[in-house]
């Protein structure tokens, strides 16, 4: 299932909220690294810049946060501050979950930074349930929070 979906929700003609979803085997970290490597070559990045970008993934990878194959992975969820509290993420989640179901996925996964109560509440309202936290001191040093929480839900 070589699918990637991006959704942007506009309010009065202005981008307000967005998210993306993909299947890990086809579009996960390895595809991201390949794309960054290609971009670096196209833009003639010095090797130091490419190494710095690659190193920025290390704290995340240190947590051991899984992205199982065959699961509809939802990431990069965000709403601009002026548009928060309007249920925009809920609308986007319902849309992206329908896309995943239509494409034949049976499970969706989403994560959030520990301490992000608003994200946890929004995901719970969309039917996700907490599975596990992933902690690492390198992640906390890089991002100011001890780790990530992982949630999943059925698309059946």
Residue 89 CB neighbour total at 10 angstroms: 24
pLDDT tens, 109-151?
A: 999 999 999 999 999 999 999 999 999 999 999 999 999 999 9
Q: What is the CATH number of domain 4-154?
A: 3.40.630.30
Q: DSSP class of residue 80?
A: -
Task: State which H helix or E strand residue 129 sits in.
Answer: strand 129-135
Quick one: pLDDT at residue 2?
A: 46
Quote the tokens at residue 43. Answer: 């833009």
pLDDT tens, 14-39?
A: 999 999 998 877 666 666 666 667 76
Quick one: pLDDT at residue 3?
A: 75
């Amino acid at each position: 299932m070589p699918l990637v979906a991006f959704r942007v929700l506009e309010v009065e003609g202005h981008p307000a909220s967005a998210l993306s979803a993909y299947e890990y085997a086809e579009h996960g970290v390895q595809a991201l690294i390949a794309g960054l490597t290609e971009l670096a070559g196209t833009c003639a990045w010095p090797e130091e810049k490419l190494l710095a970008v690659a190193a920025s993934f290390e704290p995340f990878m240190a947590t051991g946060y899984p992205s199982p194959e065959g699961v509809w992975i939802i990431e990069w969820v965000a709403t601009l501050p002026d548009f928060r509290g309007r249920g925009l993420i809920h609308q986007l989640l319902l849309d992206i979950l329908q896309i995943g179901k239509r494409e034949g996925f049976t499970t969706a996964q989403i994560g959030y930074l520990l301490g992000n109560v608003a994200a946890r509440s929004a995901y719970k309202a969309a039917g996700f349930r907490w599975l596990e936290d992933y902690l690492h001191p390198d992640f906390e040093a890089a991002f100011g929070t001890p780790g990530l929480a992982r949630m999943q839900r059925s698309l059946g």
